[in-house]
Amino acid sequence: MIDFSSYPLGTKLYLVNRLVQIDGRGPAEPLVNTRGADGLLTTTGTQLLRFDIDSDPPTPDLSRVPATLRALPPINLAEVVRTRKWRFDRENSVWTVNDQIFEVDKPVAFPKRGTTEIWVLQGSDDWHHPVHIHFEEGRILSRNGKPPPPHEAGRKDVYVVHPLEEVRVFIRFRDFLGKYMMHCHNLVHEDHAMMIRWDIVP
């Protein structure tokens, strides 16, 4: 939520991306202390979106952020029935998961409905891999053995894996059976088969 009430009519506000990224590998490594969560920040940035403060609302806006947001389900490690490791890598210029390229008719994991697992996402090269796990949001347990930062403490379905990093994800397989995907959201990697199919079974 954004509160625009303090800005006079006619104001133009910009959403700006200040994170430096000069190629598809990921954000630039910090060279100075001006640093964001994932890399070097510029002082200017790139404008992405403009908000025009145009007019007062026809009726007063009484919406408020509640004092307490919806509670997150507790993480109970006693529920975990299995830990799986997924390594995102490049072999002979081919993007792979666990040294394999994607084959749609060959699911590589069969978690059972109603169970809970830990999925360990490992980065091995000098690329960042935003890994998207379809079906249900999970919770980050740790990054390289450390608790996740506050902005990653909630439920997620995309997990940025930095080079040579290990991210442990707590995930439940509730509600539905079926065929699902996990893939890198870097389009070059996704389009070149850095994905897997996994099936939820009875």
pLDDT tens-digit series, residues 152-199: 989 999 999 999 999 999 999 999 999 999 999 988 888 888 999 999
Q: Can you tell me the distance from the alpha carbon of 160 to that of 131, in angstroms, rounded to the nearest whole number?
A: 6
Q: Which pLDDT value is given to residue 61?
A: 85
Q: Which two tokens stand for residue 132?
A: 């998207």
CATH (residue range 79-200): 2.60.40.420
Q: Which pLDDT value is given to residue 193?
A: 86
Q: Which pLDDT value is given to residue 32?
A: 43
Q: Which element (helix H / strand E) includes 191?
A: helix 187-191
Q: What are the Cα distances from residue 65, in Å, to 4, 7, 71, 140? A: 14, 19, 14, 25
Question: How many other β-carbons are positioned within 10 Å of the β-carbon of residue 132?
Answer: 16
C-beta separation of 188 from 137 below 8 A? no
Q: Can you tell me the distance from the alpha carbon of 9 to that of 6, in angstroms, rounded to the nearest whole number?
A: 10
Q: Which pLDDT value is given to residue 1?
A: 77
Q: Which pLDDT value is given to residue 30?
A: 56
Q: What are phi and psi of 150, to 5 degrees?
A: -55, -40
Greatest distance between any 2 Cα atoms in the chain: 62
- Domain layout of the chain by residue ranges: 12-52, 79-200
Those residues of the chain that have pLDDT short of 70 are 28-39
Q: Which pLDDT value is given to residue 31?
A: 46
Answer yes or no: pTM beyond 0.85. no
Q: Which pLDDT value is given to residue 91?
A: 84
Q: Which two tokens stand for residue 22?
A: 């000069």
